[in-house]
Amino acid sequence: MTTPRLSVKDLHVQFPVRSGHRKQTLRAVDGVSVDLKPSEILGIVGESGCGKSTLARVIAGLTEPAHGSVELDGRPLPPRRTVQEQRAIQMVFQDPGASLNPRLTVGAVLTELLHRHGIVDRARERERAEDLLRRVGLPARAYDARPRQLSGGQRQRVGIARALAVEPRLIVADEAVAALDVSVQAAILNLFADLRVSLALSMVFISHDLSAVQAICDRVAVMYLGKIVEVGSVDELFSAPGHPYTRALLAASPSLEETAAVAPPLTGEPPSPLRVPNGCRFHPRCPLAVEKCHIAEPQWEMQGEHRTACHRAWEVDDVTAAGARHPRGIALNP
């Protein structure tokens, strides 16, 4: 068995929150363990506030965890990374408008990084930067452009070139296509897929868009309130989801295949990570919840490589039907 490219072990991230006079602790990431093989793309999905972006920042070394470790190729990375360790994992951000310094040209952004890490000598900097631009599908003349002269899709390509510039071993893309137009989204997803083949790129792909995840990921992890509740290959997870939450997400995801408006299978909204429920943290919204779910936190149920943390994993096939009858929460289609 090969050493995983990335191995996240029992990761916890907490933020102090002050509401009025009370000091509380927000458990953004609450015990996450997940592995990523070399040249694999792992998707992480979940609603806002589930901790997926915080997880991305910890993996990229931008936020320090309270507990747990991030290992790269079997070697644990310290909370404060050296320049070399920092270089190994690069991030692609959501908003292409905010992720580029408006006062620097594209060339300045790229050569600054090449220079910092001594990747090429000064004389060949421009040549190397133009190579990077071509690699992400931009013309070499983009070198002299400033961000405001570029479209959203072009800026996102620059953001990808910037991540590739330091020759990382892993890329973390946080909602990297969410702010783009549909046709541009497809082009960026194609680019990621091409880079994975041509550069043997490993990637953590964070998204709330299940169709994008399905298009480019090998495996998917579903997060709910700071914990991973299901992990599996894209095929297994999308065709036979084990967790009721995963099924609810799939049902809510807009797609062209269905016809009339269907009853929403999930009621209510994601609860606050300040008040994590006891037992299974999904039980207040779960259509299948039983007594046990209120008390005991579920352990992993395995089906080969496919894991689900649910007391009633794979138990009921049609959650949609159960959801429509479910009395708790907001009744939308009475």
CB of residue 168 vs another protein: minimum separation in angstroms? 9
- Does 154 bind another protein (CB under 8 A)? Our answer is yes
**Hey, is 311 helix, strand or coil?**
coil
Q: For residue 112, what is the enclosing H or E element?
A: helix 106-116
Helix-helix angle 152-165:106-116, to 10 degrees: 10
DSSP secondary structure code for residue 7 in this structure? E
What residues contact residue 311 under an 8 Å CB cut-off, 6+ apart?
280, 290, 292, 293, 296, 298
Of the ranges 12-20, 127-135, 205-213, 297-305, which one interacts with another protein (CB under 8 A)? 205-213
Site string for another protein, 269-308 (x = CB under 8 A): xx--------------------------------------
* Position among 65, 159, 244, 273 found at the interface with another protein (CB under 8 A): 159
In the β-sheet with 227-233, what is the strand arrangement from edge to edge? 89-92, 170-174, 203-206, 41-45, 219-224, 227-233, 306-309, 300-303
Residue pair 229/68 in contact by the 8 Å Cβ criterion: no
CB of residue 84 vs another protein: minimum separation in angstroms? 8
CB of residue 193 vs another protein: minimum separation in angstroms? 3
CB of residue 296 vs another protein: minimum separation in angstroms? 25
Query: Cβ closer to another protein: 172 or 310?
Result: 172
CB of residue 183 vs another protein: minimum separation in angstroms? 4
Query: Cβ closer to another protein: 141 or 292?
Result: 141
Rounded to whole angstroms, the Cα distance separating 8 from 29 reads 12
**Ramachandran quadrant class, 279 (left: phi over 0; alpha: psi -120 to 50; beta: rest):** left
Rounded to whole angstroms, the Cα distance separating 186 from 169 reads 24
Could you say which residues in the range 118-137 bind another protein, by CB under 8 A? 137
* Position among 117, 128, 135, 169 found at the interface with another protein (CB under 8 A): 117
* Position among 13, 72, 212, 313 found at the interface with another protein (CB under 8 A): 212
CB of residue 226 vs another protein: minimum separation in angstroms? 16
The secondary structure of 22-72 as a DSSP string is EEEEEEEEEEEEEEE-TT-EEEEE--TTSSHHHHHHHHTTSS--SEEEEEE
Could you say which residues in the range 257-276 bind another protein, by CB under 8 A? 257-259, 261-267, 269-270
Of the ranges 16-24, 26-34, 182-190, 294-302, which one interacts with another protein (CB under 8 A)? 182-190
- Does 325 bind another protein (CB under 8 A)? Our answer is no
Site string for another protein, 30-49 (x = CB under 8 A): -----------x-----xx-
**Ramachandran quadrant class, 109 (left: phi over 0; alpha: psi -120 to 50; beta: rest):** alpha
Residue pair 171/202 in contact by the 8 Å Cβ criterion: yes
Of the ranges 8-16, 31-39, 177-185, 288-296, which one interacts with another protein (CB under 8 A)? 177-185
* Position among 72, 132, 215, 288 found at the interface with another protein (CB under 8 A): 215
- Does 221 bind another protein (CB under 8 A)? Our answer is no
- Does 142 bind another protein (CB under 8 A)? Our answer is no
In angstroms, what is the C-alpha Rg of the chain? 21
Number of residues that bind another protein (CB under 8 A): 87
- Does 20 bind another protein (CB under 8 A)? Our answer is no
- Does 200 bind another protein (CB under 8 A)? Our answer is no
